[in-house]
Amino acid sequence: MTVSTEGMKVKWGSRALRSSVELLSSMRFAISLLTVICIASIIGTVLKQAEPLSNYVNQFGPFWAQVFGLVSLNTVYSAWWFLLILAFLVISTSLCIARNTPKILADLNHLKEDVREQSLKAFGHRAQAELAESPEVAAQRIGQTLVQSGWKVKLQQRNAGWMVAAKKGAANKLGYIAAHSAIVLVCIGGLLDGDMMVRAQMWLGGKSIYTGGGLIADVPAAHRLSERNPTFRANLMVSEGTQSSTAILNQPGGVLLQELPFSVELKKFIVEYYSTGMPKLFASDIIIHDKETGSKTPARVEVNHPANYKGVEIYQSSFDDGGSSVTLKAVPMAAAVKPFEIQGTIGGSSSLSNGQGEGAEKLTLEYTALRIINVENFADGSTMGGASGTDVRKVDLHKAIETRLGAANKTVTQKELRNVGPSVSYKLRDAAGQAREFNNYMLPVKMDSNPDSPSMFLMGVRENLAASFQYLRIPADAEGSMETFLRLRAALANPAQRELAVKRYAALVIGSERPELAQQLVASASRALTLFAGSESGPDGMTGDKLKPVAGLQAISDFMEANVPEAERNRAGEVLVRILNGVLFELTQMTREQAGLKPLAQDEKTLAFMSQMVLSLSDAPHYPAPMAFELKDFTQVQASVFQVARAPGKNIVYLGCLFLIVGIFAMLYVRERRIWVWLAPATSDAGHSVPESGKSQATMALSTNRKTMDGDKEFEMLKTKLLQATL
């Protein structure tokens, strides 16, 4: 039997109705719907779903971000058109099954024994032989042999002889029913477990999306779904030592709140890591408090090992900060800022000012994240200038697969993974609402294997989420702090301190025997140090339309270009930088003496320290904030993010998957075969029937739904067995 691609033809109703039913029940319509669903699923896989609007604007631009929102490409699987296509696919496939199933079932028991003997000669697999037995005896023997081999057989006596019809592999047609039923079951399960029920409550039950903020307890009932909601999939975040019974369903443009028949208390969140810093275990020890009975049920939730209570599955989805407290110390990056300490809570904010007086700008410090473990790869000696510490909650699956697949000449790069300790992330938002994000490491980081190189305090900044962090590297002094850097910056801003350092340097290099040369050195050193400090006034030390002072090595470079002939710049630059380094070293020694610390030893380690200090002082004026914040102390509070789901369609989907496996296996690996053997009395040489001779003339034919080598072998075997013919 050939399955028709045409639809169901009805004889009642109008012409438009008959055409609609025919189209809806046709296989071509179902295949078209499947194609659209596949395309939509690809879009939903490639395009990250349910991301904030700003993410799409940053990545694709405002035009495409608006297009995605209009056609719901950012929420494909809950879009109304996607659910409508699923519903049409269910109807179309069901009609296809209803149209073809009676024919298939009828064909299962039909052996087509009425085929004419002349038709057997048209088959590709056919054979003829003369048997030394009568047609009736031969028919009985052949039928018995086929039955013993698992064939379904039927004998038909005709006036001119006997027809033996047999069939095997009827499950192939049942595979069609199973596979198409699987599509219906999976789609029904998807509709039940999708947003259809939630949308129905919004359309019919007066529920609406909540777009505001504030406490969960203050959200009105119009934005809350009942505990009796038959299907939902929501997120529940619980901090250690607290409990919650209200989950959040993310919706386009806002959220809905889902009340649970119980509350979840998080006793302890457990995370274990591999040596790479990637997590190998997420687990939450919880207590489930039943609202109705008050009973307490302890449970443990791990990834791929959910807990189940009253038909609600509790999955371990992720983890987050549960409100850790941090103590930050302000590192002045502007002269008007003084060091201070401030305490805050991750997720909270504090009000600040970048100075005093009427011109001071109000800032808001937003505490965004605390990461205890940051793992970096130091195998190639690379620095972290282009990226922040590894977030151990994220795994780049694409890179992981690419290192193991592809061209044979690929090699896996050797890694030297190191945990560089805690880091804090925060945002500084100005009065206009513009914000920069910062990421600072608590401990100094050894960037290379050179024992003389100093460890660095890393202070990262980026303008937006799409950009990479750029780091200001401040060398750690002999006491393991950045105090030497801060004292040196303060001394650079003090003209008296600069003048004293210049005189000390000139006295050390020239002495008192050559006052004229010493005076020239003092002038050159003063000019270099003043330029480097950014205190030079006038056009030589200014740049841009607003004549903003330039500092650091850039200021010296600009001065050289403006005042030194090009042919002499290299030599003059080397001399000026050598003088600058010497004066800065003396200024450093002065600040350490004033702080009651022993002076730096003149060795390779100090040379490496001062080289990095010069670069740090040169980069510091470009830091885009009046202050940086150093993480001094913290108290971590973990939070576990659960996915809570009531999914009645899950078992339906599982059943559909089983049907799909059985159906595909049946259609691909079960071959339907039919065999016919026509047995007629043998004829004499003159063409007359010779029934008394006891012989018969056999004509055999085999048909199969797929032509394969196995079919050829099977035919030769059956020909030998049934017709007693040689290969």
pLDDT the model gives residue 342: 93
CB 348 within 8 A of CB 367: yes
The residue ranking higher by pLDDT, 411 or 93, is: 93
pLDDT at 551 over 60: yes
Which has more pLDDT, 426 or 97?
A: 426
pLDDT of the residue at 422: 92
Q: List helix spans (H) across 11-161.
A: 15-24, 27-46, 53-60, 62-70, 80-108, 135-148
Count of structural domains within the chain: 5
Helix (H) / strand (E) element for 499: namely helix 495-509
CB of 100 within 8 A of CB of 176? yes
Number of residues that make up the chain: 727
Dihedral over Cα of 252, 256, 260, 263: its sign: positive
CATH of the domain at 132: 3.30.310
pLDDT tier, 18 (very low <50, low <70, confident <90, very high otherwise): confident
Same domain (yes/no): 581, 494: yes
How far apart, in whole angstroms, are the C-alpha atoms of residue 31 and residue 539?
A: 74
Residue 560 and residue 528 share a domain:
yes
The answer as to whether 21 is a domain residue is yes
Q: Which of 23-32, 206-215, 359-368, 602-611 has the highest mean pLDDT?
A: 602-611
Decide if pLDDT at 216 tops 90: no
Instruction: Count Cα atoms within 13 angstroms, Cβ side, for 491.
Output: 27
Q: If pLDDT is split at 50, 70 and 90, which confidence band does 289 have?
A: very high
| 557 inside domain | yes
Predicted local distance difference test score (pLDDT) of residue 399: 53
CA distances (Å), origin 463, targets 285, 429, 437: 39, 11, 7
Residue 696 belongs to a domain:
yes
Same structural domain for residues 567 and 450? no
Domain membership of residue 83 as a residue range: 15-106
Q: Which residue has the tokens 């002889």?
A: 161
Is 373 within a domain? Answer: yes
pTM of the model: 0.65
Of 106, 140, 160, the one marking the end of a domain is: 106
pLDDT reading at 667 higher than 90: no
Q: What is the mean pLDDT of residues 523-535?
A: 85
Instruction: Find the mean pLDDT for residues 34-45.
Output: 89
pLDDT at 541 over 90: no
Q: Residue 401 has what pLDDT? A: 45
More confident residue, 353 or 160: 160
Give the pLDDT confidence score for residue 455 in this predicted structure: 92
397 within a domain of the structure (yes/no): yes
For 313-321, what is the mean pLDDT?
90
693/529 Cα distance (integer angstroms): 128
- DSSP letter (8 states) at residue 528: H
Section 579-600 average pLDDT: 91
Examine the domain organization and report whether 517 and 460 are in the same domain: no
Q: Where are the beta strands (DSSP E) in 312-359?
A: 312-321, 325-332, 341-345, 349-353
Q: Please list, in sequence order, all residues whose beta carbon lies within 8 angstroms of the beta carbon of residue 646, skipping any fewer than 6 positions away.
A: 229, 230, 231, 232, 311, 312, 313
- 67 and 118 assigned to the same domain: no
Alpha carbon 319 to its chain's center: 15
251-284 in b/e form (b: 16+ CB < 10 A) is beeebbbbbbbbbbbbeebebeeeeebebeebbb
User: Is residue 2 assigned to a domain?
Assistant: no
Same domain, 272 and 207: yes
Which of these three, 582, 614, 636, is where a domain ends? 636
Both 399 and 498 in a single domain? Answer: no
Predicted pLDDT at 546: 42
CB 390 within 8 A of CB 374: yes
Local confidence band at 164 (pLDDT 50, 70, 90 cut-offs): very high
Burial (CB count within 10 angstroms: exposed 0-12, middle 13-18, buried 19+), residue 162: buried
* Measured distance CA(76)–CA(68) in Å, rounded: 10
Say what percent of the chain tops pLDDT 90. Answer: 31
In this structure, are 512 and 458 located in the same domain?
no
602 vs 126: CA distance, rounded Å: 102
CB 476 within 8 A of CB 444: yes
Same domain? For 135 and 239 the reply is no
β-strands 254-273, 224-225 pairing: parallel
Looking at the fold, whether 364 and 449 belong to one and the same domain comes out as: yes
What's the confidence (pLDDT) of residue 387? 44
Least confident range of 158-162, 283-287, 409-413: 409-413
Residues 521, 577, single domain; the answer is yes
Q: Is 338 domain-assigned?
A: no
Distance CA 18, CA 22 (A): 6
Q: Is the pLDDT of residue 707 over 60?
A: yes
pLDDT at 403 over 60: no
d(CA 334, CA 493): 10
Is residue 187 one of the residues assigned to a domain? no
Q: 365 and 468 in one domain?
A: yes
